[in-house]
Chains A and B, each alone.
Chain A
Amino acid sequence: MSQANGKKQIVSPTVTHSRRIPPGQVTTQKFPVYDIGPRAIFNKGKWRFVISEKVR
């Protein structure tokens, strides 16, 4: 872990993994997009982060 711009910076084990590219994967420079439906509309005033528990 290091400090960058006053924030802690963490280097993920995905970067330092001895086999950095997992089996069956190829690297790309693009960042492809997959969505399951219409994109959500963000309303800053109404947005809430909800934390709940499911107890049986």
Chain B
Amino acid sequence: MLTWDDFMNLPRIEVVADFHCVTRWSKQNMLWEGVRTKTIYDLVEPDSYAKYLMIHCMEGYTTNVPIEDFLKEDCLFACNLNGKPLEPEHGFPLRHVIPQLYAWKSAKYVYGVEFMLEDEPGYWELRGYHIHGDPWKEERFWDDEMKVWEIRKKK
């Protein structure tokens, strides 16, 4: 568990990235600043069998991410955008930013991560959004509606 001061004292990086929303808009050249997700991973050394994460947010939102995406070089927990602290509507105090997936995976108001052995759907994934979300493959929604309902029933 890390306090806010602990988190702010971790090494920082800047990432220049584009941002692609499943609702079909893209914003280019965003400058994020924060802590690399790999830094958090290295702090905890999770079970080597853990292949997925659930990102947890203060207002109850969740989203799932494969570890191989979470550990990409341009993935971070951002506290600043374009040289200024995040605005409340964009996720202050902390936003998970994973530019190579659709923006619903870049969760706002993050307070934690949960390493998982198996993949599980988060908030939007339970409501039909794709389990992965690669913009170049247009992974916007589940192809198989029945699969969504099976998962929702289990919940």
Contact = CB atoms under 8 A, between A and B. Distances in A.
25 contacts: A7-B33, A8-B14, A9-B15, A11-B17, A11-B74, A12-B100, A14-B74, A22-B135, A22-B136, A26-B25, A30-B25, A33-B89, A33-B90, A42-B58, A42-B109, A44-B4, A48-B2, A50-B111, A50-B112, A51-B2, A51-B46, A52-B115, A53-B50, A55-B47, A56-B117
Contacts of B89: 33, 35, 39
User: In the complex, which of the residues A24, A31, A44 has the most CB atoms of chain B within 10 Å of its own CB atom?
Assistant: A31
**B interface majority secondary structure:** mixed
Task: Using C-beta atoms within 8 Å of the partner chain, give the interface range for chain B.
Answer: 35 or more
A22 B138 contact: yes
A12 B141 CA distance: 24
Given A51-B40, A52-B112, A54-B114, A15 B17 contact: yes
Given A12-B100, A14-B17, A54-B117, A7 B59 contact: no
Nearest to A2: B14
